Chains A and B, each alone.
Chain A
Amino acid sequence: MRKFRSETASPYNIPRPPFRRLRIYSIDPSLAHSLETIEIREARIELPWESSPDDEKHDGPAPGPRGEYLDIIDYDPSTDAFYKPVDLNDPYLLAQDGLAPSDGNPQFHQQMVYAVAMRTIRNFEVALGRRALWAPRRWVDESGAYREEYVSQLRIYPHALREANAYYSPEKKALLFGYFQAAPTDVTDHLPGGVVFTCLSHDVVAHETAHALLDGMHRRLTEPSNPDVLAFHEAFADVVALFQHFSLPDVVRHQISKTRGDLKADNLLAKLAREFGRAIGRTDALRSAIGKTPDPAMIDRVTEPHERGAILVAAVFDAFLAIYNRRTADLFRLATHGSGMLPEGAIHPDLVSRLSTEAAKAAQHVLTICIRALDYLPPVDVTFGDYLRALITADFDLVPNDSLGYRVAFMEAFRRRGIYPRDVRTLSEESLIWEGSNLTSNIENPQIILGSDVKLQMQNWNLSGLRQDIYHKLKEAREEAHTIIERTRHYKERLIKGLDFERKFEVHSIRPVRRSGPDGQLLLDMVVEITQRTPGFLDLPLGQCQKDLQSNQGPDFWFRGGCTLIVDLETGKLRYCIYKDINSERRYDRQRAFVDGMSAAPSLSETYFGITGYRERDEVFAFVHRIRGEENKCD
């Protein structure tokens, strides 16, 4: 471990810098061939300045890089080679903001992956106001017992695969990136025969990291119980990558000056959205969703996760555009003296600056809203409609007065894409916000349900503190909550919907969430997720499943239900109860139909591999990425 800070330091301590700057490719290098984009090819981004994972007193990530959140091991199994790990603390590198971007130097690849992943994590943490945890490792040991283990670092393999693919592995808590030779026909985009590294694409790295972060919050979202679940995972990861891209200031500035401030569909930023994923040869789903007139019927036709997810991404993107346009309306009025027509040629650099700032702000806000909404989702069986309600509710909690019309923008955008929550009659703010805010009953004192010092633990899970401690304390809190809820069941049954307390249940997660109080002060709520499951069979209705449990065979699928409770920590009042009823026959039938593939139009891969086998199939994301639904379809 290189120690470059002299022990005999100066009389006063120079404080540790808050940020480390590193250079990355802002645009996939294999795509950026034209002179047009050469100025924005590279960027320098800032990430938190970490301590050494082995010893807090020492600086910076260990070679790898290996830090507190990430462990990058550059092993290439196809050539059985370990590539030399980069030491980001090398003074030469510190002086230059890291290695210069280079395709041929694997150490730069390690640096890039580290930088983009860390930045994504940071965005998450700031949006949620608490430190990010990875999903714990779960497995069944020899005695058949469920085991769980804290995972400190996400493993990243920058050169893991030999294909046009990259994915997050929920089993291995790892990101795997592939590399491949560009197909000779792709002369326009890629250098024919040249090697394309997916780890060098900012969007791909951010996308995969977002999958991992989402998995850390909502474990059940890797189990497809309806066509929206996997699509949501993909869409969310795309949204994070897209809007994070907009936060690269030079890229935004460059684009705004080129398009004279008009961020509508056919410009580089949206083109970026459309080309996003092309590096890994995904279907042009985003291209068909963004940029064309929204087709509200599309959501009923499309089931493949990427295509379906693209609709959600397009809706969020539309909302962003509306917000940006609203925010910049006055700037345009000023610049055009009310005429609405900008003068010919390049626009004034001051205007570019201001517009860029607005675009970046709008992007940041949208991203934050999208991330915060994750705390307001039901614990299982998430649908796009649920997410819309979560978005509206989360934003309402933080900004009660929607003077800038953000929520209207979201509602409008989702409506135009045909995304409606079930059981909601009108698309108005009041009907979209989750129920519970008008519940009169109180859970008098949160300590009754949820343990003695849960309030302290919630306050402790903020942007500092040891993650491992947080994890363990929360685990205890969950166990304690379970015991307490079991003891006082009858009391909860009136408030906690969606569960059948005659059966076993699990306190799936407890976490803090911030909101604005009426005086603008920041308050703390607590989110508790309680879930349970019942076996599901393709040929049995819900009522019979429990009775006819064919124990030797195992169920065809697990039908899950439960609720997300949002509790005011000060008063103990139950603010929202977001539930999926474990006893709902209709929901059960819907899942049954989905699992049986009635609603899915399978490709050849699904003929052989089948979505029903999701439980046994390893690597659900690798698989989703590999299904290219287009080619073998018959209709």
Chain B
Amino acid sequence: MRLKAPSDGCVVRMYRHGLGDCFLLAFGTKNKEQKYVLIDCGVLLGTEDATSVMKQVVSDIREATGGHLDILVTTHEHWDHISGFMQAQEEFNKIAVDQVWFSWTEDPKNPLARELRNRRKLALDTLGLALKRLHTSQSMYAARIQGIWEFFGTELGAASFRTEEALDWIKKKWTDHRYCKPGDEPLTITGLPNVRFFVLGPPTDRKYIRKNSPVKGEVYLGDRPGSELGLYLKVLGTFETPERRFPDQRDEGAPFNPAYVCNPNEHTISDLYERYRSEKWRTIDTDWLGTAGELALQLDAHTNNTSLVLAIELSPGGHVLLFPGDAQVGNWLSWDDVTWSGKYNQVTAQDLLSRTVLYKVGHHGSHNSTLKEKGLERMTSSELAALIPVNRKMAVKKKWRMPYKPLWDRLAELTSGRVVLSDQGLPSANGNDSLKEFLQVYTETELFIDIKIKGQS
């Protein structure tokens, strides 16, 4: 069945496929045509029957749009936003896409983007190596780190990262690409002149992508080749090769003159080895890899911060839909610096936030992806509603705090109960009269939830 939005209005369809983002937006035009935008399509690695679920979702997309998408938006390179392009390729083959929007960090011609991607690759490789070794120690910590690793859609030991593969597939299949930068002239779709897409992020200033206040002595994304990450990788790498360092061989990773290193053949040191090896519970062979956890987190934050953030204005000066991907602190904080030129020079992030009537909550409702003071608290519209694409069972299974309860509570307050979770629907609707009005624009099926947003003429 075709998805139809009222003219001047739109319908936002949130798919209920699991822990992941997949949003289909339909805009109605004056001449009864429909314009369709798909923002992300993916589900977390390890979701049960992921492939068949995604096929189902994409089939529905095809049906709803008549096999034609005006715009496809991929916010960032995480599996739970992009897996559908690997799992449901057959179905996507039957859908035509006019243009694909990426964040500027995907632009092969942008030097900063290239640098960021290279560094990320380095970090990913390092993390992979570290995880492989950690697994031999069977630490529970390793399992948790792996959960973060899985955002890149890869099993340990796989040759490439499937998120990368997915992006490549998208780029090859639909060749009209646009790399969006904040501050660019707001985008529109032909035939839909009043709807404007403002790009708020990701920031082009690298300090926002990394973090706000670097902590001294941190191990990560060192700027220079001799930096900690490089060294770490080198050391990990040399571990993989069978030839070991001998006392007389120079090793850049070694902190001391080789003369101080015990020669394994010297018999006088044999009791030292014995003592170390005999008490297995006290050995430290893999403890040094514990920093992998930190690396994983930083990698995750970094990738999230490169999310493409769209504020969709339904009409000039009118309602706004906010889709921030999984943007985190750094990304949000940079929005205040974004300015537009020409006739849009009055528009600011604060202004857009104050007109937001639909907020797609970032990172499945985790704590770090909704900025409080300069973010949530600026969403002052009395019609605000929030969508949280989350699967609590999955989050609990992974022991992740999603959605973060105080955030959820605050959202409920600000929206007067209009918080929709993809797994539960509208929990506050039970016996709640104040939601009567909202329920009129709310449709729920097993596969998706639709929110209708009327025009403001």
A160-B287, A172-B282 known; A631+B294 contact, CB < 8 A = no
Q: What B residues does A83 contact at CB under 8 A? A: 256, 260-262
Cross-chain pairs A/B with CB under 8 angstroms, 21 sampled: A73-B275, A79-B254, A79-B255, A81-B245, A81-B262, A82-B273, A84-B262, A137-B281, A163-B290, A163-B291, A181-B226, A602-B401, A604-B328, A607-B368, A610-B399, A623-B293, A626-B291, A628-B215, A631-B211, A634-B371, A635-B373
Residues of B within 8 A of A623 (CB): 293
Structural contact, B401 and A606, CB atoms closer than 8 A: yes
Contact of B216 among A77, A186, A606 (CB under 8 A): A186
Chain B residue with minimal CB distance to A609?
B144
Docked-complex contact B288 and A161, CB < 8 angstroms: yes
Proximity bits, B231-270, A CB within 8 Å = 1, else 0: 1100100010000110000010111110011100000010
A561 to B97, CA, bound (A): 64
| Closest chain B CB from A567 CB (angstroms) | 36
The answer for the CA separation of A364 and B389 in the assembled complex, in Å, is 58
Contact with A634, one of B294, B368, B405 (Cβ below 8 angstroms): B368
Does A183 interact with chain B (Cβ within 8 Å)?
A: yes
Complex partner residue of B284 from A163, A172, A197, A613, CB under 8 angstroms: A172
Closest to A64 in B: B272
Write the chain B residue with the least CB distance to A197. Answer: B255
A152 to chain B, nearest CB (A): 11
Q: Is B57 an interface residue (CB 8 A)?
A: no
Expressed in whole angstroms, the Cα–Cα distance for A160 and B283 within the complex equals 10
Interface residues on chain A, size class: 35 or more
- Given A164-B217, A608-B148, A612-B399; A79-B253 close (CB under 8 Å): yes
Is B46's beta carbon under 8 Å from chain A?
A: no
Task: State the CA gap A320–B406 with chains docked (Å).
Answer: 40
Cβ-defined contact, B285 with A634, below 8 A: no
Q: What is the distance, in angstroms, from B369's C-beta to the closest C-beta of chain A?
A: 8
How many inter-chain residue pairs (CB < 8 Å) link A and B? 221
Whether A85 and B211, one on each chain, are in contact in the complex, defined by CB atoms closer than 8 angstroms, is no
Cross-chain contact A80 with B244 (CB below 8 angstroms): yes
Interface presence of B159 (CB below 8 A): no
- The answer, yes or no, to whether A107 is at the interface (CB within 8 Å) is yes
Query: Which listed residue (A64, A172, A183, A609) contacts B217, Cβ 8 A?
Result: A183
Contact of A180 with B217 at beta-carbon distance under 8 Å, contacts A83-B256, A632-B329 already known: yes
Identify B231's interface contact among A77, A104, A181, A185, CB under 8 A: A181
User: Do residues B288 and A163 form an inter-chain contact, with CB atoms below 8 A?
Assistant: yes
How far does the alpha carbon of A107 sit from the alpha carbon of B256 in the complex, in Å? 11
Q: Is B370 an interface residue (CB 8 A)?
A: yes
* In the complex, B350 has a CB within 8 A of chain A: no
Task: List, in ascending order, chain B residues with CB within 8 A of A82's CB.
Answer: 261-262, 269, 272-273, 276
B218 surroundings in chain A (CB, below 8 A)? 164, 183, 281, 628
Instruction: Report the minimum CB–CB distance from B371 to chain A (whole Å).
Output: 5
Return B249 CB to nearest CB of chain A, in Å: 11
Flag whether A431 is at the interface (Cβ < 8 A). no
Q: Within residues 424 to 478 of chain A, which ones have a CB less than 8 A from any CB in chain B?
A: none
Contacts A180-B228, A633-B368 supplied; 11 other A-B pairs, CB < 8 Å: A75-B284, A76-B255, A82-B262, A157-B284, A181-B228, A605-B297, A607-B401, A609-B144, A632-B329, A634-B375, A635-B371
Query: Which residues in B have their C-beta under 8 angstroms from that of A573?
Result: none
Indicate with 1 or 0, residue by residue over A49-81, a CB within 8 angstroms of chain B CB atoms. Answer: 000000000000000100000010101111111
Which interface class (under 10, 10 to 19, 20 to 34, 35 or more) fits B? Answer: 35 or more
Central interface residue in A181, A283, A610, by most chain B CB within 10 Å = A181
Verify A81–B254 contact, CB threshold 8 A: yes
Q: Does A603 count as interface, using CB distance less than 8 angstroms?
A: yes
Stretch of A89-97, A255-263, A614-622 lying at the B interface: A614-622
Query: Does residue A344 face the partner (Cβ distance < 8 Å to B)?
Result: no
Assembly CA distance A96 to B261 (angstroms): 24
Task: Please report the C-alpha to C-alpha distance between residue A85 and residue B404 in the assembled complex, in whole angstroms.
Answer: 50
- Complex Cα spacing A195 to B217, Å: 11
CB distance from A321 to the nearest CB of B (A): 27
Question: Hey, which chain A residues are within 8 Å of B293, CB to CB?
Answer: 605, 609, 623, 626
The listed residue with most A CB atoms (<10 A of its CB), out of B147, B235, B284, is: B284
Q: Which residues of B contact A (CB under 8 A)?
A: 139-141, 144, 147-148, 211-219, 222-224, 226-228, 231-232, 235, 239, 244-245, 251, 253-257, 260-262, 269, 272-273, 275-276, 279, 281-288, 290-291, 293-294, 297, 300-301, 328-329, 332, 366-373, 375, 399-402, 404-406
Set of chain A residues within 8 Å of B231, measured between Cβ atoms? 162, 181
Q: Which residues of B contact A616 (CB under 8 A)?
A: 140
Residue of B nearest to A626 (CB): B294
Q: Whole-angstrom distance between the alpha carbons of A280 and B329 in the complex?
A: 25
A303 contacts chain B at the CB level, 8 A cutoff: no
Are A632 and B288 in contact, with the CB atoms below 8 A? no
Q: How far is the CA of A104 from the CA of B369 in the complex (A)?
A: 45
Contact A180 B226 (CB under 8 A): no
- With A179-B255, A183-B228, A622-B290 known as contacts, the answer to whether A631 contacts B212 (CB < 8 A) is yes
Tell whether A602 pairs with B367 under 8 Å between CB atoms, given A174-B282, A633-B329: yes
The residues of B that contact A631 with a CB separation of less than 8 Å are 211-213, 215, 301, 329
Smallest CB gap from A279: residue in B: B217
Q: Which among A180, A193, A601, A626 is the interface contact of B367 at CB below 8 angstroms? A: A601
Contact B367 A607 (CB under 8 A): yes
Verify B148–A161 contact, CB threshold 8 A.
no
On whether the beta carbons of B290 and A73 are closer than 8 Å, the reply is: no
Which A residues touch B286, using CB under 8 A? Answer: 77
Contact call B217/A608, Cβ cutoff below 8 A: no
Let me know if A71 and B275 touch, CB within 8 A: yes
In contact, A634 and B144 (Cβ under 8 angstroms)? no
User: In the docked arrangement, what's the CA distance between A632 and B218, Å?
Assistant: 14
- Contact among B255, B291, B401 for A165, CB-based, below 8 A: B291
On whether the beta carbons of A78 and B253 are closer than 8 Å, the reply is: yes
Q: Chain B residues with Cβ under 8 A from A245's Cβ?
A: none
What 6 A-B pairs are tightest by C-beta distance, nearest first?
A281-B217, A164-B217, A635-B372, A631-B211, A82-B262, A163-B291
Complex Cα–Cα for A172 and B310 (A): 50
| A597 sits at the interface (CB 8 A) | yes
How far, in whole Å, are A279 and B222 apart by their CA atoms in the complex? Answer: 18
Tell me if A176 and B287 are in contact (CB < 8 A): yes
Closest chain-A Cβ to B60's Cβ sits at a distance in Å of 31
Shortest CB-to-CB span from B302 to chain A, Å, is 11
Q: Would you call B288 and A78 a contact (CB within 8 A)?
A: yes
For the complex, is A278 an interface residue (Cβ under 8 Å from B)? yes
Asked whether A161 lies within 8 Å of B290 as measured between CB atoms, the reply is: yes
Smallest Cβ distance from A613 to chain B, in angstroms? 6
In the complex, which residues of chain A have a beta carbon less than 8 angstroms from the beta carbon of B211?
631-632
Smallest Cβ-Cβ distance to B269: which chain A residue: A82
Question: In the complex, what residues of B have CB within 8 A of residue A23's CB?
Answer: none
Q: Kindly state the separation between the CA atoms of A25 and B399 in the bound complex, as whole angstroms.
A: 44
Alpha-carbon distance between A268 and B405 when the two chains are bound, in angstroms: 45
Looking at the assembled complex, report how far the CB atom of B283 sits from the nearest CB atom of chain A, in whole angstroms: 8
Q: Which of A296-326 contact B (CB under 8 A)?
A: none
Is A218 an interface residue, CB under 8 A from the partner? no
CB <8 Å contact, A604 and B373: no
> B256 is contacted by which of A106, A597, A618 (Cβ under 8 Å)?
A106
**Which of chain B's residues have a CB closer than 8 A to the CB of A483?**
none
Q: Cβ of A164: which chain B residues have Cβ within 8 Å of it?
A: 216-219
Q: Does A343 contact B (CB under 8 A)?
A: no
A contact residues around B244 at 8 Å (CB): 80
Determine which of B253, B284, B406 lies in contact with A598 in the assembled complex, contact meaning CB atoms within 8 Å. Answer: B406
Question: Contacts of B256 on A, CB cut-off 8 Å?
Answer: 83, 104-106
A78 / chain B contacts, CB cutoff of 8 Å:
235, 253, 288
Q: How far is the CA of A81 from the CA of B300 in the complex (A)?
A: 33
Which residue of chain B has the shortest Cβ distance to A164 in the bound complex?
A: B217
Let me know if A130 is at the binding interface, CB within 8 A.
Answer: no
Q: Which residues of A contact B329 (CB under 8 A)?
A: 631-634
Is there a chain B Cβ closer than 8 Å to A508's Cβ?
no
Residues of A close to B367: CB separation below 8 A: 601-603, 606-607, 634
Q: Which residue of B lies closest to A79 (CB)?
A: B254
When distances are taken between beta carbons in the complex, the residues of chain A under 8 Å from B294 are 163, 605, 626
**Is there contact, CB below 8 Å, between A77 and B288?**
yes
Q: Which residues of A contact B272 (CB under 8 A)?
A: 64, 73, 82, 85
